[in-house]
Structure 1
Amino acid sequence: MWDNHKLLGGVASVLLWVSALLLVWAGVFWLIHSPLFPVKKISIEGRMERVTPVQLRYIAEHELRGTFFTLDIDATRQAFGKLPWVKEAQVRRRWPDQLDITVSEHKALARWGENGLVSTEGQWFDAASDQSLPVLSGPAGSEAEMARALERFKAILAPAGLAPVRVGMNERRAWRIGLSNGVELELGRSDVDARLARFAQSWTTTLAALPYRIETVDLRYPNGYAVRMPDYKAPPAQ
């Protein structure tokens, strides 16, 4: 082998190329990780009403790590996503030293029991709000379904001048609604929208005119409903 000059020349050429490639790789690695390319500017955009500049500045100062090339985009996106009202953060590099971050916020639709909020997209998120919001309660994982139901219930009740302030669905998928006028509705598990529409029509034509306080309306009957009026006293029998 050592007498084979052609083979030795080939091996030497390969080693030379490998050495050159390793040298180039080392140079690129050093350049990428060197302090010559720091992130000097951070541009944050988006229509923000709940996320404050102080919160954004804190994330930028304490959570972002690395140079322009080595900064982890996914980790940066997740860092801004930790803020309570942030729905999504999009992050991209802009040569030579800037990060462009676009933040979008959740829009609260309702409270989820006593724990967090539900967005207009049916997503639960952990944040506090001083808004006057309806309260939803239901099985875990039903947030999106209940958000859609709340919007339907609002539309059905609006012509009667009523609005839901509490909407609950139990494990058996039976619905109960608390209205803005204090009336509680039992809707059961089936034909919920149709039953609610029947109530809205009856409220406008009949129930609102009754001279008694209505406490609950049970709509779980195929062709009617039962009304509980604590102040009502039946007339004496003749």
Structure 2
Amino acid sequence: MAAEDITITGLSHHDPEALLSAIGVAPGGSLIGFDAVRSKRILENLDWIESAQVQRLFPNQLDIAVAERQPFAIWQRGQSYYVIDKTGVAMSGFPVGKMVRLPLITGEGANVAAAELFNHLEATPDLLLQVKAAARVGDRRWTLYLDSGVTVMLPEKDWEQAIALVDDLNREQRLLSKGIKSVDLRVPGRVVASVAENKADDANVKKAAVKRN
């Protein structure tokens, strides 16, 4: 009994050959001894598959349906890089070099906390478009790195409101377009903006504090 009719659905990032190879099946190959339950378990143990259904219809038909984990971000941990999904699962089946459009996150715990961060950033699309990378500091808070070179240090608590405040200040006062080097929101109730050295009147970095209304 050969595998003459194989149907695979749900693949968008991987080749069917990789999936079939994992369960030891080849088109036209023998299905004698094939175990659908075991094959399902094998597929769901692959880090790039979230769920799988495997059904053999006698004598020679095999139906496989999978749900792939979707690439969400690139997580840098030490000197290693991983493509992760929204739940933080690292997926070896995705080559990092082909995922250059994904945001870069760094730090311990960043893979688990990133989805919540970017969900809130979606409410400030102008700011989101500028975010090049995000670093998880001490697994307690975030620092954002913008395309312009500006660093935004978010507080440990109420960071959602801090994101909204930066977005408001940027829209109303063009905060991020004034030669700013960094924006520090770690102290509750204050925004401290450091001016880039080449924008200052002297060699020292000037600092200005903007109090919340």
What range is the shorter-chain TM-score in? Answer: 0.7 to 0.9
Count matched residues.
Answer: 192
Question: Among residues 178, 183, 186, which one is paired with 1:217 in the alignment?
Answer: 183
Question: Match for residue 36 of structure 2?
Answer: 73
- For residues 139-150 of structure 1, the aligned pairs below 5 Å read 139-140=108-109, 143-150=111-118
Greater share of strand residues, 1 or 2?
A: 2
- The CA distance in 1 between the partners of 2:89 and 2:143, in whole Å, is 21
Tell me whether 1:134 sits opposite 2:103 in the alignment. Answer: yes
Question: Match for residue 210 of structure 2?
Answer: none
Q: Percent of pairs identical after alignment?
A: 20
Q: CA RMSD in A?
A: 2.9
Deviation of 1:42 after TM superposition, in Å, equals 4.7
- The CA distance in 2 between the partners of 1:157 and 1:179, in whole Å, is 14
Gaps of 5+ in 1: 1-37
- The CA distance in 2 between the partners of 1:111 and 1:150, in whole Å, is 13
Deviation of 1:92 after TM superposition, in Å, equals 1.4
Tell me whether 1:46 sits opposite 2:9 in the alignment. Answer: yes
Deviation of 1:103 after TM superposition, in Å, equals 2.3
Larger Rg: 1
Gaps of 5+ in 2: 203-213
Deviation of 1:109 after TM superposition, in Å, equals 1.1
Question: Match for residue 22 of structure 1?
Answer: none
TM-score (norm 2): 0.74
Question: Among residues 161, 164, 179, which one is paired with 2:131 in the alignment?
Answer: 164
Indicate if the aligned counterparts of 1:160 and 1:201 stay in contact, CA closer than 8 A: no
Deviation of 1:179 after TM superposition, in Å, equals 1.9
- The CA distance in 2 between the partners of 1:178 and 1:97, in whole Å, is 55
Question: Among residues 83, 91, 97, which one is paired with 1:125 in the alignment?
Answer: 91
Greater share of helix residues, 1 or 2?
A: 1
TM-score (norm 1): 0.68
Deviation of 1:152 after TM superposition, in Å, equals 1.5
